[in-house]
Amino acid sequence: MVIMPIEELVGKQNRDGGWPYVRGASWTEPTVYSVLALLAAGETEYARRGLRWIVRNERADGGWPAQAGIDQSIWVTALVALLPPEQLGQEAHRRAIAWLLGMTGEESTLTYRMREWLLGNARPADQEFAGWPWVPGTAAWVGPTSLAILALEKENSRRPQAEVRRRVEEGREFLMRRMCRDGGWNHGSVRAWGYESRPYPETTGQALAALRGVRTPEVEKALTVARRFLGECRSAEALNWLRLGLLAHEELPDGYCPPAGVTSRTLPDRSLEMLVSAVQKGSNLFWG
Specify the pLDDT at position 119.
46
- Taking residues 202-216, what's their average pLDDT? 97
pTM to 2 decimals? 0.91
On average, the pLDDT of the chain sits at: 89
Q: How sure is the predictor about 26, in pLDDT bands with cuts at 50, 70 and 90?
A: very high
pLDDT digits (tens, 9 = 90+) for 28-70: 999 999 999 999 999 999 999 999 999 999 999 999 999 999 9
Three-state DSSP string of the chain: CCCCCHHHHHHCCCCCCCECCCCCCCEHHHHHHHHHHHHHCCCHHHHHHHHHHHHHCCCCCCCCCCCCCCCCCCCHHHHHHCCCHHHHCHHHHHHHHHHHHCCCCHHHCHHHHHHHHHCCCCCCHHHCCCCEECCCCCCEEHHHHHHHHHHHHHHHHHCCCHHHHHHHHHHHHHHHHCCCCCCCECCCCCEECCEECCCEHHHHHHHHHHCCCCCCHHHHHHHHHHHHHHHHCCCHHHHHHHHHHHHHCCCCCCCCCCCCCCCCCCHHHHHHHHHHHHHHCCCCCCCC
Specify the pLDDT at position 191.
60
pLDDT digits (tens, 9 = 90+) for 172-191: 999 999 999 889 999 877 66
Q: How sure is the predictor about 114, in pLDDT bands with cuts at 50, 70 and 90?
A: very low
